[in-house]
Amino acid sequence: MPILRIDLGSPTPVYRQIVDSLRALLVNGAFAPGARLPTVREVAIDLGVNHNTVAEAYRLLAEEGWLDLKRYHGATVLQRPPQQAEPARQEDFVQRLRELAARAIADGVDKEEVAQLLGALAEDLKQSKKEIL
């Protein structure tokens, strides 16, 4: 079962953590198109955060085309049309990945280990059951 985890002690805003965590699940094909997600109220109660925080996260994912939000019917996962990333977007991704790796190395993670982790991530993405959209 897909689990959404957040850390209330993290400097990253809670709504952003929810968006990132849910997006990761959606990208990995954890939900079939048409699947229903728990309501804003259910997620807010279990996480112990304000309803508006969860509603904002759902709204952002709906804007990205992942979810269909209907009043009183919760959120439904959509079949997202293939996206064509602009070159600037890809450059931004590479830049952020480099920064993240540099940060990990600066924090003391071994270079080899970072390379292995990135390799494992690449394998995971390749073997993902669902096509990455």
- Which residues contact other proteins (rule: CB under 8 A)? 1-9, 22, 25, 30-31, 36-39, 41-51, 74
Q: Which is nearer to other proteins, 42 or 99 (CB)?
A: 42
Beta-ladder partners of 68:
76
In angstroms, what is the minimal distance from the CB of 86 to other proteins?
30
Nearer to other proteins among residue 36 and residue 96 (C-beta): 36
Distance in Å, CB of 111 to other proteins, minimum: 26
Closest approach of Cβ 25 to other proteins, in Å? 6
* CB distance 70 to 76 below 8 Å: yes
Residue listed under structure tokens 């480099």: 98
Which positions ≥6 away from 30 have C-beta within 8 Å? 2
Closer CB to other proteins, residue 126 or residue 129?
129
Across the beta sheet with 74-77, the strand order is: 36-37, 74-77, 67-70
> Cα dist. 116→5, 28, 63, 119, 126 in Å?
24, 20, 34, 5, 15
Q: How far is the CB of 81 from other proteins (least distance, A)?
A: 23
Residue with smaller CB distance to other proteins, 34 or 119: 34
Element (H, E) at 66: none
